[in-house]
Amino acid sequence: MFLSGHVADKIDLRIYLCFGTLLSGVTTIAFGLGYFFNVHSFAYYAVTQGVAGIVQASGWPAVVACMGNWFGKNKRGFFMGVWTAHSSIGNILGSLVAGAFVEIAWGWSFVIPGLIIGLLSVPIYLFLVPYPECVEVQLPVQHNASDYGSINQQIRDGNSFEESLGTTSSQCNLLIPTKKNSSSFLSALKVPGVIEYSLTLFFSKLVSYTFLFWLPMYIREAGGFDPSSSADLSAVFDLGGILGGIIAGYVSDCTGSSAITCVVMIALSIPTLYLYSVVGFRSLAHCIGLLIPLGLFVNGPYALITTAVSADLGTHLSLSKNSRALATVTGIIDGTGSVGAALGPLLCGLMKPYGWSVIIIMLMVALALAAVLLFRMVANESRQCCFSVEQSLLPSSSSLSNAADA
């Protein structure tokens, strides 16, 4: 993921995504074919999964860069919150497909998604326009008058556009779509907020992916449901995640405070998780009623950080105007989160012999750490918020002059 984002900033995103989706489909199908050909080699599945992880890493930094290229800061959180619902919808469909074939022929659980993602490489190649300048569209203003995270009227109400784009080509070059150069990895890492949000996403994604992989088993063992019903119920968590991404983006747009939004939602997820572990299986209504807000509070910050926050940081004022860093920053943030995504399910497997209560405690600790790591960003946004309020309360220069004339 770290390398993927940097590479995506160097070449045409359309070609990059096309090959990424095609190879993702091939590797996913290859994993499922092991069932039909009675492959029982650990090395085969390990290598296949490793290659699949490499090619699938091409996806997220590139698609966030494409969206960030088309949307300015104004209302970016809401639009990307709606857009990122595709991730949770994919999780839901994946859970349903896996649940449908898990007791019949598990190979189809990989072959069918592989065919879908592989075929999608065709419309990506034919129709994706990754850069507005490819079709001579004016770009929205990418920088605010203040640093990232401040509450600024220009962010909330501004719809201004750059008056001039300079000289741009009417056609996109295949390898170098614009004259902008890719930013260095170190420069992207130095952007204020990248490290904090990366570490927060590490723990947030640790929790999210633990639910993704282990929630069906937890529902089956703790609630006594059959495997198919457990897979269906686990999809409710992702339904809450869809709502969480939209709400987090909308609140972030309205307040201009992404860090505060994330911390509040993460803090609310801790008692919600505890309640779910205590009363979540008293009835089906309890299970569904608590899974939705749990998914909302857990996946809301996750969605906000990996989309709007990454796009904002990738166009930060500290970066050169002639450099591309959007995919690189996204790769750093989501790459760090992916380490947590790999660690979470592993820790869950190691802790499972000690009981589900130990795993719940581990997840609550991870959520607490995710919130604590953003405290510096929260403090900055709080100071900026107070300054903005003070400025709004000060009398305007015109009123002062009128008072002086009187």
Residue 316's domain is classified under what CATH number? Answer: 1.20.1250.20
The pair of structure tokens assigned to 171 is 């056609």
Domain assignment of residue 403, yes or no: no
Backbone angles phi, psi at 260, to 5 degrees: -65, -40
∠ Cα 329 315 3 (to 5°) = 20
Q: What is the pLDDT of residues 354-395, one digit of tens each?
A: 999 999 999 999 999 999 999 999 998 888 877 776 676 666
Q: Which amino acid is at 71?
A: F
pLDDT over threshold 80, residue 158 = no
Give this prediction's pTM.
0.77
Are 327 and 64 in contact by the 8 Å Cβ rule? The answer is yes
Q: Does 83 fall in a domain?
A: yes
> CA-to-CA distance for 335 and 328, rounded, in angstroms?
10
Would residue 29 count as lying in a domain? yes
CB atoms within 10 A of CB 294: 25
Whether residue 173 is contained in a domain is answered as no
Q: How many domains does the chain have?
A: 1
Per the CB < 8 A criterion, the answer to whether 118 and 26 are in contact is: yes
Sign of the alpha-carbon dihedral angle for 198, 199, 200, 202: positive
pLDDT band at 340 (very low <50, low <70, confident <90, very high): very high
Asked, for residue 93, whether it belongs to a domain, the answer is yes
User: Is 65 contained in some domain?
Assistant: yes
Q: Is residue 280 part of a domain?
A: yes
41 found inside a domain = yes
Q: How far apart are CA 293 and CA 161, in angstroms?
A: 38
Q: Tokens 């499922």 — which residue?
A: 32
Summarised one tens digit per residue, pLDDT across range 13-44 is: 899 999 999 999 999 999 999 999 999 999 99
CB atoms within 10 A of CB 189: 15
Sign of CA dihedral 124, 126, 131, 137: negative
Domain of 347 in residue numbering reads as 2-131+181-385
| 111-125, 196-210, 374-388, range with the lowest pLDDT | 374-388
User: 304: pLDDT confidence band, cut at 50, 70 and 90?
Assistant: very high
